[in-house]
Amino acid sequence: MMEKTLVILKPCTLQRGLIGEVISRFEQKGLILAGMKMAWLSDEVLSEHYTHQKDKPFFQRLKDSMNTTPVVICCWKGVDAVSVVRTMIGATNGRNALPGTIRGDYSVSVQENIVHASDSIETATVELKRFFNDDELFSYDPVLLSNLYANDEI
Ligand code: IDP
Ligand code: MG
């Protein structure tokens, strides 16, 4: 199924000059860029975004790290995009993430792990609403669609 998923390029990625590298990985895979912006996330938004971690000892430190700089927020589209992106980013802890994955190639940390990506279709829907207004997500004809997918895949 054609899906949209949310990716946040974290402050560590901005500071290390890896924004272009990471965006290139998704582009080269064949994912379709449906939205992109820069934003400085507030503690309130981060509390909502990381609510599943609110009882963890690292919760405040994680939020603080996420608002040391602005972040780059993307919406990527594709068949099974949610699971494709999760597979591409690798395990949460960069030290365990396999080489070839984004975290495996660029991170040695569990917290400073380059990207956030939605972990399910339901989460993606909620997270895209959290970070994008309707008019900030774009639908257009990717000219190479027939080179990315067979007819029966889309
Ligand atoms: P995910 O980003 O792979 O989906 P989650 O379990 O949803 O992982 O955790 C959200 C974020 O919280 C991680 O990306 C990471 O930055 C941070 N995090 C998770 N576990 C730890 C930890 O044990 N220590 C510090 N930060 C953590
Ligand atoms: Mg998660």
pLDDT tens profile 8-51: 999 999 999 999 999 999 999 999 999 999 999 999 999 999 99
Is the dihedral angle over the CA atoms 84, 74, 12, 65 positive or is it negative?
Answer: negative
pLDDT tens profile 61-118: 999 999 999 999 999 999 999 999 999 999 999 999 999 999 999 999 999 999 999 9
Report which bound ligand comes closest to the CA of 50: 1
DSSP E strand stretches across the chain: 2-9, 32-39, 71-79, 115-117
pLDDT on residue 148: 98
Q: Which residues pair with 116 in a beta bridge?
A: 8
pTM for the model stands at: 0.98
- H-helix or E-strand containing 87? helix 81-89
Report which bound ligand comes closest to the CA of 112: 1
- Please check whether residue 43 is in contact with residue 63, taking contact to mean a CB–CB distance below 8 angstroms: yes
Pairing of strands 32-39, 115-117: unpaired
Binding pocket residue ranges, ligand 1, CB within 6 Å: 53, 58, 62, 92, 110-111, 113, 116, 119
Query: Is 116 noted as a catalytic residue in this protein?
Result: yes
Sequence-distant (≥ 6) Cβ neighbours of residue 90 within 8 angstroms:
97, 98, 101, 102, 103, 104
Measured CA to CA, the distance from residue 102 to residue 83 in angstroms comes to 14
